[in-house]
Structure 1
Amino acid sequence: MALSLTIRRLLTIQPIELPVFHPIAIKLQHLLETPNFKMDEVIDLANEDQSLAGQILKMANSTIYIGRVRTETIKDAVIRLGAQQVANLAMAASQASLHASENIVIHGFMQSLWLHSHACAIGSRWAARNAGYPQYAEQAYMAGLLHDVGKLYLLKALERLNKAGVAQAALEEELLLEIFAELHVEQGCRLMQHWNMPKMYSNVVANHHDVTFDTSDTVLTTVRFLNAACKYKGIGTVRDTSIDMLGLPETSLLQLGQEELDELYELIEDTQEFEM
């Protein structure tokens, strides 16, 4: 069905301040863009919201992230994991808490979206490391986490509209998928620009579905590869087992083979058991 002009207009005029990013998570990302930032600044900022700090530590100590030593404080986390990974965990923890709704239909889509985004984040970091680009691993993680942020924005907008008693028909699964297909990149770019997010991540939001892409952009290539892998394994709202993963240009660019693919599939399937 064609996406009605009314629904499109209602969604695109929603206020950009819809709760899609946690302010502390955003401030941490901006701080890391500042030359010569200090570790104490990262620690102090992450500790400003004790609820978020607790979520960061819970995630850092989960089976997916944990190292040899358990992390007890934000300071310990920064020392052990580094400022970039702590900032990434802040965004991931805040995103996990935002993927929830009192509306059953919206909640179901939000949960699927979180599982997909989290798998893309974990998998993108793994792929960057295994393809020989460890210097891009944490950026790939963040890009994987945020690539579909436009979908979260659209779901939050629909949640607000439904509470106001409008756009009820938009909760039908077929129409929701159509809304995603037509609007999520556009609205994701709108968000990234409004919040002045680093260009590296904005590029991924804008170009992760393009037929042609900048093959020299390792972070974009990695997220596109993971997006396809998750789609192939049915992690998210769509499953497509017809994808030839070995034949993808992204797989070739990353120089990954079947053995690596099998290891990746096991990893991203393990992320589905993660709970905040």
Structure 2
Amino acid sequence: MQPQEPSFLEIIKAYLGSSKAVLPVFSATGMKIQREAAKAEPDTGVIERMITCDPSLTSQILRISNSAFYKGLQKVATVRTAIVRLGNQEIANIAILVSQKKQFKAKEPFINALMQNLWRHSVGTAISAQWIANRCGLKAKAQEAFTAGLLHDMGKLLILTVTDAVKRNGMLKQMPAERLLSEVMDNFHALYGYALLRHWNLPDAYCRIARDHHKSGPEKGNGLMMMVRLADKTTNCLGIGLHPPDACVLAATPEADYFGLSEVTLAELEIKLEDSKVFW
């Protein structure tokens, strides 16, 4: 009797448990810039030096600073000018976006296309979470909300990265059907995301959001979790990500009720997301 071939999920688990496993790498530069920007009195010189030490990061920040989203009367030609125009916090957000985007690339065209959709969802959730924090008078949590939103679905990135790797090294003979891959991501991304963020040694709040952002019911005292849950639902409702638009009434969700956000107010968030496509 011929031995049964391992399932797609078994291949994923075997690879992750092997010494050959290559995981996505977290770029610490963006997080360091965010930490400095979050201080009561951030040092603009320190932020400038951290950015200019990375030529790729510098060019991307200048490009985005001169985009239609931020464009002023004068062209931004230096990082210092970009910081003055956009402010420390906005520059910090752009820095972490640029540094993380490098992870969303794959050799296999099918996987790469999914990664681009996942990137759009991650960015949309980050911008939404930050908007919710600012709109609800929780500006002290705005940058934390942005980062938590950006990292909430890293488990899906891990699964896609591993799928790309096992296809190229021959462990996976043929690419799984999109439906199967989607099912594995939907069911296991929270667990894998939690493990990956722990591996990156990130704060526990981010790890728990990666693990629990699909759980239901209000979490009293954990506004950050509720921001990301609402932001995630907002992007899903608009079809920003791996799935078609999810028909839902955002104002009727427990998260919207938690923050007292009306349908009219949430419509403002949808407009904000339309305007932010420069980051995609």
Partner of 1:200: 205
Q: After TM superposition, list the pairs within 5 Å mapping 1:1-276 onto structure 2.
A: 4-11=9-16, 13=18, 18-29=23-34, 38-65=43-70, 71-169=76-174, 171-212=176-217, 214-271=219-276, 273-274=277-278
Amino acid at match of 2:104: H
How many Å separate the matches in 2 of 1:206 and 1:65?
34
The CA distance in 2 between the partners of 1:203 and 1:158, in whole Å, is: 24
Is 2:236–2:243's contact at 8 Å kept on the other side of the alignment?
A: yes
AA of the residue aligned to 2:228: V
User: For the Cα contact (< 8 Å) 1:125–1:141, is it kept in 2?
Assistant: yes
Q: Distance in 1 between matches of 2:73 and 2:210?
A: 34
The answer on whether the counterparts of 1:7 and 1:167 sit within 8 Å (CA) in structure 2 is no
Q: Which has the larger radius of gyration?
A: 2
1:159 Cα deviation from its structure 2 partner: 1.4
Select between 138-147 and 80-89 the one with higher mean Cα deviation. 80-89
Percent identity between the two aligned chains: 30
Q: CA separation in 1, counterparts of 2:22 and 2:53?
A: 21
Name the amino acid aligned to 1:58: R
* Aligned 8 A contact 2:62 2:77 in 1: yes
Name the CA shift for 1:99/1:40 in 2 (closer, same or farther; >3 Å).
same
- CA contact 1:16–1:194 (8 Å) conserved in 2: no
Structure 2: unaligned runs, 5 residues or longer: 1-6
Farther off after superposition, 85-94 or 107-116: 85-94
User: How much does 1:51 deviate?
Assistant: 0.8
- 1:229, 1:12 → 2: CA distance? 35
- Given that 1:148 and 1:185 are in contact with CA atoms closer than 8 Å, whether structure 2 keeps it comes out as yes
Partner Cα distance (1:53, 1:67) in 2: 19
Residues 125-179 of structure 1: per-residue CA shift (max 9 Å, x gap): 2222122222222221121111112211221222121110122445321121122
Looking at structure 2, the residues matched to 141 and 67 of structure 1 have their Cα atoms a distance apart, in angstroms, of 24
Q: Which amino acid aligns with 2:139?
A: P
Q: Which moved more, 1:19-28 or 1:133-142?
A: 19-28
Q: Secondary structure at the match of 1:237?
A: coil
Q: Distance in 2 between matches of 1:65 and 1:123?
A: 18
Which TM-score applies when normalising by structure 2? 0.84
Q: Is the alpha carbon distance of 1:54 and 1:88 closer, same or farther for their aligned partners in structure 2, counting shifts above 3 Å?
A: same
Runs (5+) with no aligned partner, structure 1 = none
Give the 3-state SS of the residue equivalent to 1:243 in structure 2.
coil
Say how many residue pairs are matched: 274
Kept in 2: contact 1:28–1:42 (CA 8 A): yes
2: CA distance, partners of 1:15 / 1:269: 41
- Displacement of 1:259 in angstroms is 0.9
TM-score by length of 1: 0.85
Cα contact 2:159–2:189 (8 A) shared by 1: yes
